[in-house]
Structure 1
Amino acid sequence: MVTIRPTRVDSPDAHGLLEEYFALRAANFPGGGYRVNMPPSDAFTADGDAFVVLYDGEEPAGCGGIRRITDGPAGPRWEVKHLYVCDAGRGRGWGRRILEDLERRAAEAGAAEVVLDTHHSLDAAGALYARSGYVAIEPYNDNANATRWYGKTL
């Protein structure tokens, strides 16, 4: 059974998934130079923020977070961060499940808009965001690893 549970970003399950994600991105980043930014233990702890882990049974298989950032044109805005599904979970709709869970949490916290950044080399991620109603927006941050920015009004 697949479940999604909120957790601290520094929990062993979340930390293990993030290490796997960052290693994979560093190994496959075009031209090298991927900057690893392990979130600090107090990340995703502000009111309305959340970090979740998707479990396949009791096995951690995916993760993602949502955090409040500066308001945007539509009003209160949250950012999706570190959306990741392990190799064995790809193609099973788990990324969409995590994304929908994060959007729900943001909406419950008062978000008018959800945004995210990604890299153009992540084709599956871009396709997930497009299927989920995200549209291209102007950059809202200076993330050196990002080449595309997306937003969705809730």
Structure 2
Amino acid sequence: MQIRKITKKENVAMAHVIRSSLEAYGLALPGTVYYDANLETLSASYDHEGCAYYVLIDGNSVLGGAGYDRFVGFESCCEIQKLYVSETVRGHGYGKQLLLFVMEQAQKAGYDHCYIETHDQLQEALGLYKKLGFQEIEKPEGVVHSTMNRFLIKNLESNV
């Protein structure tokens, strides 16, 4: 297994991992990443300063991914985005591995905090975030994915 930046050839596979994950949890709904217009073009969407998207690869298979981008709701803060792993490897620590890697990269990029949003139906993810020191906060202004109902932040200096 390796984690590396997404390339154009992994876009469709990563979109499939994200959509199938949301379907499995009953969250293939408007107001979630499921309907993001850029889902099939993640490599281009994360090709600017202050952001990156990474995939978890095993051979030629895309098993998951996660990224970060600037979050304007808080000073020196990024948002962890589109953190999903394939059902075939869920429960084996790969989501945690991806999250830790992305937080480290965000910290190297100069961010002091990271924000993440999730949903009550994603209990495994919520448990992971809390275990890694994320603190729940009120819904910040400017939340794009209106179906998400849990919001967390972490100071990266006390991190990773």
Q: TM-score range by the shorter chain?
A: 0.7 to 0.9
Percent sequence identity over matched residues? 24
- Between stretches 39-48 and 58-67, larger displacement belongs to 39-48
Match among 20, 27, 34 for residue 17 of structure 2: 20
Higher strand share: 1
Give the structure 2 partner of residue 47 of structure 1.
49
Structure 1 residues 38 and 26: alpha-carbon distance in aligned structure 2, compared to 1, 3 A threshold? farther
Give the structure 2 partner of residue 94 of structure 1.
94
Q: Kindly tell me the number of residue pairs found equivalent between the two proteins.
A: 148
For 2:14 and 2:144, the matched residues in 1 are separated by 24
Shift of 1:43: 1.7
Match among 138, 145, 150 for residue 143 of structure 1: 145
Give the structure 2 partner of residue 129 of structure 1.
129
Give the structure 1 partner of residue 4 of structure 2.
5
Query: Is the 2:25–2:121 Cα contact (8 Å) retained in structure 1?
Result: no
Shift of 1:58: 3.2
For 2:81 and 2:37, the matched residues in 1 are separated by 11
For structure 1, list consecutive stretches of 5 or more residues without a partner in the other structure. Answer: none
The runs of at least 4 consecutive aligned structure 1 residues that moved more than 2 Å come to 26-30, 32-35, 38-42
Query: Is the 1:78–1:114 Cα contact (8 Å) retained in structure 2?
Result: yes
Task: Report Cα offsets for 1:32-76 as digits up to 9, x if no partner.
Answer: 73441142644222212100000123321111111012151xx31
**TM-score (norm: length of structure 1):** 0.85
Provide the alpha-carbon RMSD of the alignment.
Answer: 2.0
Aligned residue for 2:15, secondary structure, equals helix
**TM-score (norm: length of structure 2):** 0.82
For 1:27 and 1:123, the matched residues in 2 are separated by 13
For 1:23 and 1:57, the matched residues in 2 are separated by 21
Give the structure 2 partner of residue 82 of structure 1.
82
Query: Is the 1:134–1:150 Cα contact (8 Å) retained in structure 2?
Result: yes
For structure 2, list consecutive stretches of 5 or more residues without a partner in the other structure. Answer: none
